């Protein structure tokens, strides 16, 4: 089924063709007609299946019609996403799909100066892509007018709830017109998101592509059971293989990302890092340099696990195994995108075998176990430094030394109590 069957505007079809899209993905094929008919929609699909185009293309079509009728004024659509990186990516996609349309968009997110974003808003925009936190700041300052708004999109809603954005989402929705179209897209659909949908969507249609909790068929998955102190050396050995060209490595904490990056650099690996403590400029540069092939490896926390589209990621490696299965699905979804083949590798020490079991139970499959030939899985943990380890202490000798020091301490002289005065009384007889 070609994109022309949807009845999209010619300018949009030209941009889609220029972007290299030949036919719609299943989620696009089922979602676009429903969105164009004005239905509220809940769409559940695996990562890497083209959800962004599924809601952006119908929105641009609607804006194009309004422009033709000379009624395109004010902000008509709002897209909420959990992270700055995802906001920027969606905005880039909108710019690509709408390159032949007179549509003005604004990307609103934290970590940068507000003034530049406010300046864009003052000029007037038709479509806003935003993180809930920064958008709430502008709402509190009464810098936004959503009276003309017709469409609201909640992208990766489960992630926004997990990040604690529910109060902001509720306040934002309360500031929007009640008569609107609301679309909810996600790779997974938790009970909390279902509750949110019941509250804010009006008789929504629902589509589901594949299982709610499974990775795409284009991703092969395997596990290396390895001791914690050997995860770094094992990663270095894997990266020496020619097929490891563009590798995304996930860790749990930003401190772990810093340590692993330093370790890989010492091993002469071309690596950069991305986590929440880096400035927005540093985050964008790291992501772009990785996309451009300047670095072989990007070490990241889960801020890039949701929705971020990086072409050509050959492997995703769970250096730290994720705590819950949903995060596993999202991480794995960064490879094998757009029907390309990908590989997901997980390092699982003994202490994380229970997490692996829960994930396998959720996925409904047992992940393949692998071992790297020639790697010593029983190597001892290296000493913290090249110096000889300190000799064991003789605690009995230490105790005797402490007692001797006590006896050597000068004892302060006792201060005598002052003599008590005799109470006054009559003198006795001589």
Q: Which residue has the tokens 């451009």?
A: 292
pLDDT value of residue 312: 85
Cα separation of the two ends of the chain: 136
Q: Where in the chain is the domain with CATH 3.40.50.300?
A: 3-209, 219-369
Between residues 206 and 396, the one the model is more confident about: 206
Average pLDDT, stretch 287-291? 90
CATH superfamily, region 3-209: P-loop containing nucleotide triphosphate hydrolases (3.40.50.300)
pLDDT reading at 387 higher than 70: no
Residue 406's pLDDT band (cuts 50, 70, 90): low
d(CA 85, CA 88): 5
DSSP letters spanning 293-308: TS-SEEEE-GGGSSS-
pLDDT tens digits, 167-222: 999 999 999 999 999 999 877 777 788 888 899 999 999 998 866 556 667 789 99
**In this prediction, what percent of the chain has a pLDDT beyond 90?**
57
Range from 85-89, 140-144, 170-174, 378-382 carrying the lowest mean pLDDT: 378-382
219-369 under CATH 3.40.50.300, yes or no: yes
Q: Which residue has the tokens 């492997």?
A: 315
What is the dihedral sign for C-alpha 56, 59, 63, 68? positive
pLDDT value of residue 386: 36
pLDDT value of residue 56: 96
Task: Kindly tell me the burial class for residue 231, based on how many C-beta atoms sit within 10 Å of its own C-beta (0-12, 13-18, 19 or more).
Answer: buried
Backbone φ and ψ for 368, nearest 5 degrees, come out as -65, 135
d(CA 314, CA 292): 14
The model's pTM is 0.70
């Amino acid at each position: 089924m070609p994109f022309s069957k949807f009845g999209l505007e010619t300018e949009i079809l030209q941009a889609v063709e220029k972007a290299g899209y030949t036919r719609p993905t299943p989620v696009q094929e089922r979602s676009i007609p429903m969105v164009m008919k004005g239905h509220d929609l809940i769409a559940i699909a695996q990562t890497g299946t083209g959800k962004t185009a599924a809601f952006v293309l119908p929105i641009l079509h609607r804006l194009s019609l309004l422009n033709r009728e000379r009624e395109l004024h004010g902000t008509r659509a709002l897209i909420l996403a959990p992270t700055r990186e995802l906001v920027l990516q969606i905005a880039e996609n909108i710019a690509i799909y709408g390159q032949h349309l007179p549509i003005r968009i604004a990307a609103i997110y934290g970590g940068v100066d507000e003034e530049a974003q406010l300046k864009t808003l003052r000029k007037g925009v038709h479509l806003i892509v935003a993180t809930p936190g920064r958008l709430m700041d502008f709402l509190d300052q009464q810098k936004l007018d959503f009276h003309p708004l017709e469409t609201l999109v909640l992208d990766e809603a489960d992630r926004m709830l997990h990040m604690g954005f529910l109060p902001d989402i509720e306040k934002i929705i309360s500031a929007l017109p009640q008569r609107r179209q609301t679309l909810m897209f996600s790779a997974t659909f938790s009970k909390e998101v279902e509750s949110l949908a019941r509250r804010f969507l009006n008789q929504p249609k629902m589509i589901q592509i594949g299982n709610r909790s499974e990775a795409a068929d284009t991703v092969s998955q395997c596990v290396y059971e390895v001791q914690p102190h050997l995860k770094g050396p094992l990663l270095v050995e894997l990266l020496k293989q020619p097929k490891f060209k563009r590798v995304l490595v996930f860790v749990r904490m930003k401190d772990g990302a810093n340590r692993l990056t330093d370790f890989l650099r010492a091993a002469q690996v071309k690596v950069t890092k991305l986590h929440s403590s880096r400035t927005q400029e540093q985050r964008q540069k790291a992501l772009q340099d990785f996309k451009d092939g300047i670095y072989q490896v990007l070490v990241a926390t889960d801020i890039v696990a949701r929705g971020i589209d990086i072409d050509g990621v050959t492997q995703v490696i769970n250096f730290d195994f994720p705590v819950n299965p949903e995060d596993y699905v999202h991480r794995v979804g960064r490879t094998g995108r757009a029907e390309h083949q990908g590989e997901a590798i997980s390092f699982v020490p003994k202490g994380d075998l229970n997490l692996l079991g829960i994930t396998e139970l959720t996925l409904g499959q047992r992940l393949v176990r692998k071992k790297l030939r020639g790697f010593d899985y029983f190597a001892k943990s290296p000493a913290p430094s090249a110096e000889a380890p300190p000799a064991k202490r003789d605690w009995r000798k230490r105790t005797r030394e402490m007692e001797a020091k006590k006896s050597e301490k000068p004892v302060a002289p006792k201060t005598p109590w002052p003599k008590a005065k005799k109470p006054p009384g009559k003198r006795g007889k001589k």
